[in-house]
Amino acid sequence: MKNLGTQVKTLAAASLLTVGLAGTSVATASTTLVVGTWMPPSNPMNTVVWPTWAEWVEEATDGRVEVKIEHDLGHPRTYFQLVEDGVINAGWSYHGYIPGRFNLPMAVEQPGMGVNAEAASAALWDVHQEHFAQANEYQGLELLALLTHGPGQLHTREPIENLDDLENKRIRSGGGVQAELAERLDVTPVSAPGSRVYEMLQQGVIDGVFMPAQEQRSLRLNEVAPNLTVFPGGMYLGSFAMFIDPYFMESLDPEDAEAIRSVSGRQLSILAGQAWDEADEQGLEYAREEGVNVVVLEEDDAMVQEFRELTEGMDQQWIDSVTAEGVDAAQALEDLRRIARDYQENN
């Protein structure tokens, strides 16, 4: 939108032309980049990540591209299609919501990564560039960032003293590696978007949920799941993509398209990971303040050892599952863990 000064200049130019004097050049209006997002307003993607990226884009393009953020445009799985179809220009979603399409990013979700979201997100971006990009799983989209939420933990209505307590419990699963965990833990998985978890717990539709600690605050799980079991390094990580319509990028001046890319990629992935980590710290503190029964397990606790035994073989299972993708999956997973752990140690 033009400011008042620009509007005055435009009117003046029109007047000069009317009387036959020399024309005055008027600046072209800015392009609006529409981003679609979901999850509650308190989620770090909505409080930090997208607003910060919007500022970066507007600064990098000298205001020629303005970012408009739209909320709650449908189920998270539809955001891939909304961007591909040009309904919105950019968005984000969870890989696990589209089973079978995004197999390679599931590497970062495997138990045993043992790092925070920032390190995992940086490593996932690097390994995608080195190993996964050739498989072209994001055909029809241009990647802006790859990220994970913080370590996934166990939120339940009733206390959990050992893994046997979970048998036949109805646990919301967000897809991806959570589906395999649900099977190995012998729980009854219930598929639903994160936005419905509070309601389902409140109504007794589910007994618990796998989610990072930050959701105690963001989704107010403290009110409906007052028992939080924290595994060292988490039970898993959840992976997401931020993406943009390649045709929208082609429609821009090449200088502006490159400016957008310059504030995306690894830089944006790291920002997103940092935001989720900070939200986890706040969520854990909030849960304690609200009287939630927070059980922080240690490495030598029986439940932790039992969980590790239960998840043995999942690495190889993922490697076998992506054979058709034509990548060295074993090397990619090894690189992913090495890069992530090195990053966390040095940052």
Averaged pLDDT, 272-301: 97
Q: What is the pLDDT of residues 120-173, one digit of tens each?
A: 999 999 999 999 999 999 999 999 999 999 999 999 999 999 999 999 999 998
- Look at residue 280 and tell me if it is in a domain: yes
Does residue 233 or residue 25 have the better pLDDT?
A: 233
Read off the tokens for 325: 């993708």
- The residue-averaged pLDDT of 188-202 equals 92
In a domain? residue 12:
no
pLDDT at 29: 63
pLDDT at residue 184 greater than cutoff 60: yes
Mean pLDDT (whole number) for 203-210 = 96
pLDDT of residue 14: 36
Closest CA to 266 of 115, 145, 148, 347: 145
Is residue 15 one of the residues assigned to a domain?
A: no
Q: Cα(94)–Cα(192) distance, rounded to whole angstroms?
A: 12
Q: What is the largest CA-CA distance in the chain?
A: 88
**What is residue 243's predicted lDDT score, i.e. its pLDDT?**
98
Range of the domain at 233: 27-312+327-346
Strand order in the sheet with 227-230: 188-191, 170-173, 208-212, 152-156, 227-230, 293-296
The stretch 90-116 carries a mean pLDDT of: 95
CA distance 246 to 235: 35
Other Cβ atoms less than 10 A from the Cβ of 224: the count is 19
Q: What is the pLDDT of residue 269?
A: 98
In a domain, 129, yes or no: yes
In a domain, 4, yes or no: no
**13 within a domain of the structure (yes/no):** no
In this prediction, residue 44 has a pLDDT band, given cuts at 50, 70 and 90, of very high
Tell me, what CATH number does 101's domain have?
3.40.190.170
The answer as to whether 19 is a domain residue is no
* 47-50-56 Cα angle (round to 5): 120
Domain assignment present for 248? yes
Q: How many domains does the chain fold into?
A: 1
